[in-house]
Amino acid sequence: MALTITLVPLALLAAGLCALMYVAFRRPATNAPKKFLAKGRRPGSHTVMVAFGDSITHATLSADWVGALRDRFGPGGYEFVNAGVNGHTSTDLLRRLDEVVACRPDAVAIMVGTNDVRNGIPLARFRANLETIIGRLQTHSTAQIALLSATPLGENPADPANQTLTDYNTAAARIADRMGVGYLPVHERIAEHLGCGTATPKFAFSFGLAMKVAVQHYVFRRSLDDISGGNGLTMLTDHIHLNDRAGAIVADLVANWLSRIPAPH
């Protein structure tokens, strides 16, 4: 009996931890491509936009900028497919490109790069991946395309991670110009709210910190902005993922781009 009494709380704790891990890291994004393709385009929608990226787009640990667009534009005939997957690089996006094309999108917003830098994907490979992704979208779809610069890695602009990321964002901007697609300066707009690099914390992302954010957000229901402030940060929660202030910047930039795209007939 004593052993049973001891094991019950442990079992409940394990179940709770598994549930938290699923919600924060493993659950599919809202209206992911597989779900969208299964149900088809919503009746009355004239524009389908696919948001294609990593955890910043997936939004289980980051502000849901795709959801913000859905709330803002959805009643007006727009449908948003979230093709973000936690941890993905440009190489992963290339592998998943067929499911994006299968959605027959009218617009595709691509944001990737932070994991390429973190995982040591060479700049030449990143550049080639983006060029292939855009080229195949242009060949196999009629979608309007925008490249979004990757969000900061930590809030210290002078940190080596951010210095490296600058080269990847510069490459993305040049590719966008050369291939005739939009470029949305997400990194640049968020960086305007960061310090000069002398008083900001060094880049210090870890799985443990991400779990701490997940517990605070999903268990204790703290806002992402409050969590960010508690970690000594302004726009990020755990040195990678966006708080609500930063997510609003992304949503506004994409919204302005979408408003300039003629509705398909």
How does pLDDT run across 192-211, given as a tens digit for each residue?
998 654 467 888 999 999 99
Give the pLDDT band (50/70/90) at residue 26. Answer: confident
Q: Which residue has the tokens 């179940």?
A: 15
The tokens describing 155, both together, are: 């809030």
Over residues 219-224, mean pLDDT: 95
Spatial distance between the Cα atoms of 45 and 36, rounded to a whole number of angstroms? 13
DSSP at 80: E
Percentage of residues in the chain having pLDDT higher than 90: 80
Q: What pLDDT does 101 receive? A: 98
The tokens describing 100, both together, are: 């994006």
Among 144, 142, 53, which residue's Cα sits nearest to residue 104? Answer: 142
Give the pLDDT band (50/70/90) at residue 264. Answer: confident
Give the pLDDT band (50/70/90) at residue 132. Answer: very high
Q: Which pLDDT tens digit goes with each residue over 55-112?
A: 999 999 999 999 999 999 989 999 999 999 999 999 999 999 999 999 999 999 999 9
Listed in sequence order, the residues at least 6 apart from 241 whose beta carbon sits closer than 8 Å to its beta carbon are 55, 56, 61, 62, 63, 210, 213
Q: What pLDDT does 11 receive? A: 60
For 145, phi then psi, to 5°, come to: -125, 140
